[in-house]
Structure 1
Amino acid sequence: MGTLKDRLNDDLHSAMKGRDELTTSTLRMALSAVRTAEVSGDAARELSDDEVLAVLTKEAKKRREAATAFRDAGRADQAGKETAEGEILDRYLPAQLSDEEIAELVAGALRDGGFTGKAQMGPAMRAAQAAVAGRAEGGRVAAEVRRQLG
């Protein structure tokens, strides 16, 4: 199959050939963010699939937040564009967990780690994030950890 970055490049070329402007611009933006991440730091290097996935997750989150901000400001057209870009990026991300699945995974992580109170929020969050493994946004996980540590 190749790497995730290769898949993004292949899909970009297909979108360009098919004259799909939204997909083309979205994938160009995503690949630009990946290249920026590759050259940041001490030495330029190729990102692993997990690191590319982290970049795409961050970009998708930016699109959701922007869509919400535009919607709140009464700019439905711009909100629609941001939402559509987010949906294109979501094709490359693992399926997001439901609230029930998050609750189950967090409960297991808290039980396994022996976390019982809010004073252990930091270590509990690290354990919960590891259990969720990027299949849910950090805010959703944090809210569930707070609720269960209550």
Structure 2
Amino acid sequence: MTLIEQLKDAMKVAMRAKEKARLGTIRLALAAIKQVEVDEAKTLSDDEITAVLTKMVKQRRDSIRQYEEAGRLDLAEAEAAEVVVLQEFLPQPMSDEELQAVVSQVIADSGASSMRDMGKVMGQLQSKVQGRADMAEVGKIVKAQLG
């Protein structure tokens, strides 16, 4: 079953169960996917849908941080609930050990030896860890290993 089919099925289940918050989040995700499809005039693959969902999770995490700094815990909790729903459709996150191993492997395979090679390494890592790791954390690990 494709990711878009999983989202549509989850939307139907949420409708039947009258889970308004979950239904709203799934509809937002489907709308974001549809928007990208219309903008790019193509049907998105599962990897591209994962990228859209990853971006949505990142946006919500940024919002949570800003709401907490502003003392709006009610809004932060709503965003956190959306993150939980969106993460159900993303691949399982990588453990720190797995992430370290993947970064080391890519650095070795690409022949990177200094910080000048960071862009090349990050480009290769993007496809390998998409949706499974925060790219900011990946960047820190790459810097540590190259520096």
TM-score, L = length of structure 1: 0.91
Conserved in 2, the CA contact under 8 Å of 1:110 and 1:127? Answer: no
Amino acid at match of 1:86: V
Provide the C-alpha distance between the structure 2 equivalents of 1:21 and 1:79, rounded to a whole number of angstroms: 18
1:68 paired residue number? 65
Provide the C-alpha distance between the structure 2 equivalents of 1:99 and 1:138, rounded to a whole number of angstroms: 13
Structure 1 residue 138 corresponds to structure 2 residue 127:
no
Provide the C-alpha distance between the structure 2 equivalents of 1:119 and 1:47, rounded to a whole number of angstroms: 33
User: 1:1-150, aligned counterparts within 5 Å?
Assistant: 1=1, 3-41=2-40, 44-150=41-147
Provide the C-alpha distance between the structure 2 equivalents of 1:73 and 1:10, rounded to a whole number of angstroms: 36
Provide the C-alpha distance between the structure 2 equivalents of 1:4 and 1:78, rounded to a whole number of angstroms: 28
Q: Post-superposition shift, 1:74?
A: 0.8
Percent identity (aligned):
40
Give the 4+ runs in structure 1 shifted more than 2 A: 127-134
Provide the C-alpha distance between the structure 2 equivalents of 1:67 and 1:139, rounded to a whole number of angstroms: 17
Provide the C-alpha distance between the structure 1 equivalents of 2:80 and 2:8, rounded to a whole number of angstroms: 22
Secondary structure of the structure 2 residue equivalent to 1:81: helix
* Higher RCO, Cα 8 Å, sep 6+: 2
Q: Post-superposition shift, 1:83?
A: 0.5
Deviations 1:37-89 (A, max 9, x none): 01003xx3221111111111111111111111111111111001000100000
TM-score, L = length of structure 2: 0.93
Conserved in 2, the CA contact under 8 Å of 1:23 and 1:88? Answer: yes
Q: Post-superposition shift, 1:133?
A: 4.3
Structure 2 unaligned spans of 5+: none
Structure 1 unaligned spans of 5+: none
Distance 1:115 1:58, change over 3 A: same
